Amino acid sequence: MTKRWKHLASKNCRLARRSWGNVLTSSHLRSLREITERFQLSVSAGDLLLLDGRWYVSHAGWLGLAHRNRCAGIHVRPVLQFCDPSSDRRQRELGAFLISCNTKYSM
């Protein structure tokens, strides 16, 4: 991991402790470091959210990831078996499409 991403990982962990300290575990911090290293997502930019004990990438995070990887677009569709409109809970499947090779990049 480059120095820049190490700094971002440390910053993400500090902010995560402040934001979700009461539910954050060492496993959460370890996976946050891995996500930061691999995808360069930022907690302070709103790219990542901790919901129900899991890290989720926000739409802003997906847009940034697609932009950094020179993707032509993002395709979003609902995963109906995980949606519950009565509780305003929706799960989506996202895929970003690369310009050069027309292959699907997903997380």
Asked which of 57, 81, 96 is the last residue of a domain, the reply is 57
Task: Give the burial class of 94: count Cβ atoms within 10 A of its Cβ; 0-12 exposed, 13-18 middle, 19 or more buried.
Answer: middle
pLDDT for 6-27, tens place per residue?
A: 889 999 999 999 999 889 999 9
Domain residues for the domain of 101 are 58-107
Examine the domain organization and report whether 43 and 69 are in the same domain: no
Examine the domain organization and report whether 107 and 71 are in the same domain: yes
Cα–Cα separations (whole angstroms), residue 6 to 9, 11, 12, 38: 5, 9, 10, 11
Number of domains in the chain: 2
pLDDT for 39-86, tens place per residue?
A: 899 999 999 999 888 898 888 888 888 888 887 777 766 666 656 667
Examine the domain organization and report whether 64 and 85 are in the same domain: yes
Examine the domain organization and report whether 1 and 42 are in the same domain: yes
pTM tops 0.75: no
25-60 exposure pattern, b = at least 16 Cβ within 10 A, e = fewer: eeebeeebbebbeebbbbbeeebbebeeeebebeee
